[in-house]
Amino acid sequence: MIRLWTSDEIALATGGSVSGAFTVSGVAFDSREIGPGDLFLALKGESTDGHRFLDQAFAQGAAGALVSEATPHPHVKVADTVLALDALGIAARGRMAGKVIGVTGSVGKTGTKEALFAALDRNDPGCAHRSVKSYNNHTGVPLSLARMPQTARYGVFEMGMNHAGELAQLTRLVRPHVAMVTTIAPAHMGFFESEAAIADAKGEIFQGLLPGGTAIVPFDSPHRERLTAAAAPHAARIVTFGTGEGADFRAVEAMRTSTGGTFVTARFDRRELSFTLAQPGAHWVSNVMGILAAVDAVGGDLELAGLALAEMGGLAGRGARLTVPVAGGTALVIDESYNANPASMRATLAVLAHEPGRKIAVLGEMRELGVHSDAFHAELSGPVKVANIAYAILVGEAMAPLAKALEGQIDFVHVPDASAARDRLDAVLAPGDSVLVKGSNGVRLSTLVAALAERQPCST
């Protein structure tokens, strides 16, 4: 196991007291994720207290714990474990001498983070670090920092928000050399008065840039100038990316391949790079220009990045593809079940439009859209029809406006929950079908995908 922290280093970072010497190789605050050699963070929240799971964590092999209460287990005791997690993340960032990239956006930040990691890991195998899953909030970001080895040459961190001011706090923990905004879209509109206000909140990521840092801005966004203005006081260099004429990193050619990916030619700094992007969809073509810009900004090899992008598979809940057996053959399932907003719905429906066979869309309601919810759901009728959907399963009460808009247009059913959606899909799924499953995480369409995945035969 790689030594990540000693008990003395943890105590120095957090201002805590050590019960006895120990060394840890990992950090986690979910006792279910604890493995041999890990540090267990006993965080206190509104509904739970990690101290209740100390025995479980040590039974699973924890080497030490960060606590604010007495325990017989090896530990560092602090006054407040939540504040101590921030302090540990700050210490991890302070001792790392490599390059750090911060990523935010309304759509695509997790996929972009994973692609950046793949590209940088291809540059220096084993020397890149990134936040796992979607650990992008006030606990996930410092946890991801605390997990970063001191020897890492690259760190890639996703940062999210649903209120103004949150990104300003997170980016000052991460202190990136490069800060990137993927896309501005009407996500979390229930907390903002306008899309421009979302752009302002996303632009807070630039406030944490280190001196000499680079800001990466979507060229094709209607909020480009707003983001550029937000970056100007903090960035030594502002780089744009996209498909439009004038973008610093621009996709000048994009052709769909026979395997569903895209052959892309990128132009930048009087250079060109051609490569195959494994991920399908026009939204990926644009985002990958930002990924190349970020790799270039930290001194990475762009040709190696192109190879990594050609090999990158889909992520669970964010584009993973499953071949599912059905009576008489198989069907394709595209798993986009983790999250949804109007922009990502349109983008993934456009991907489904290019898939073979009968097209089925299992669409869960989009949450946190506030007073705009009915309009945004109804407006999906256009993308659904353009994608030539043969059958739609609409899930959740908020999908009622879309159901009304689709009446007499296509064959569909409106169901209350993921369980009912699974039953309907089971009843209609046939060989050769292509199925998109997408909705806000709270709809729990991931359970439908998991049930389909269980049908896959065991590998030999």
Region 381-392: mean pLDDT is 95
Torsions phi, psi of 427, nearest 5?
A: -75, -25
Q: Please count the residues of the chain.
A: 460
d(CA 231, CA 79) in angstroms, rounded, equals 37
DSSP three-state, residue 385? helix
Give pLDDT, residue 459. Answer: 39
Q: Are 47 and 36 in contact (CB under 8 A)?
A: no
Q: What is the pLDDT of residues 175-197, one digit of tens each?
A: 999 999 999 987 666 677 888 99
Q: What is the pLDDT of residues 187-238, one digit of tens each?
A: 666 677 888 999 999 999 999 999 999 999 999 999 999 999 999 999 999 9
Give pLDDT, residue 369. Answer: 87
Give pLDDT, residue 157. Answer: 97
The CATH fold assigned to 5-80 is 3.40.1390
CATH code assigned to 320-453? 3.90.190.20
Give me the chain's average pLDDT, please. Answer: 92
Confidence band, pLDDT 50/70/90 cuts, at residue 456? low
Give pLDDT, residue 188. Answer: 61
- Whole-Å CA distances, 21 to 1, 7, 25, 326: 17, 6, 14, 56
Q: What is the pLDDT of residues 165-174, one digit of tens each?
A: 999 999 999 9
**Where is average pLDDT lowest: 78-87, 129-138, 330-339?**
129-138
Q: In what order do the strands lie in the sheet with 38-41?
A: 17-18, 75-77, 64-67, 38-41, 26-28
d(CA 305, CA 282) in angstroms, rounded, equals 19
Rg (CA), the chain: 23
Confidence band, pLDDT 50/70/90 cuts, at residue 374? very high
Confidence band, pLDDT 50/70/90 cuts, at residue 376? very high
Confidence band, pLDDT 50/70/90 cuts, at residue 1? low
Q: What is the pLDDT of residues 432-455, one digit of tens each?
A: 999 999 999 899 999 999 999 887
The residue among 164, 97, 172 whose CA lies nearest residue 142 is: 172
Q: Where are the domains of the chain?
A: 5-80, 96-311, 320-453
**Where is average pLDDT lowest: 4-13, 271-280, 310-319?**
310-319
Same fold, 5-80 and 320-453: no
Q: Are 245 and 268 in contact (CB under 8 A)?
A: no
d(CA 67, CA 74) in angstroms, rounded, equals 10
CATH architecture of 96-311: 3-Layer(aba) Sandwich (3.40)
Region 114-143: mean pLDDT is 91
Region 267-290: mean pLDDT is 91
